[in-house]
Amino acid sequence: MERLIKSGSGWRIGWNPNAAKFKGLVGTDDWAVELTEAELNDFCRLLAQLADTMKQLKEELMDEEKIACEAESDLLWMEVEGYPHEYSLHFILNTGRCAEGKWNPASVPGLLQATGMLKVF
């Protein structure tokens, strides 16, 4: 399998199965951070969980009501914040090199869709 980078308006995600240590990449147009396979797997899994949670909360919130939801693993912490149909994503890498990043609400749907198509977890 070859290196794969998917990108859209305000987001990037990549997978390189041949890389020695950092097989994953997440970022925006302005920044990127390499991730280990385990970190990328957790990133994709937690983002899917948070998106599902936001979808489920849609029926319980009024249209103008904002919410924030967090999820974390041993490797990273993630938070979505906004409305069930439009929210930002923030993450903090908790491993040795520590990194932090954020995507605006317009970027999250494309990033979420791409994580489901990487098929790494």
What CA–CA distances, in Å, run from 52 to 21, 55, 103, 111? 30, 5, 18, 14
CATH architecture of the domain 4-118 equals: Roll (2.30)
* 10-residue mean pLDDT series, the chain (121 residues): 89 95 96 96 96 89 87 97 94 90 97 83 41
The residues, any chain, with a CB within 8 Å of residue 22's CB and separated by 6 or more, are 16, 34, 35, 36
Q: Which amino acid does the sequence have at 11?
A: W
What pLDDT, on a 0 to 100 scale, did the predictor assign at position 119? Answer: 61
Domain range annotation of the chain = 4-118
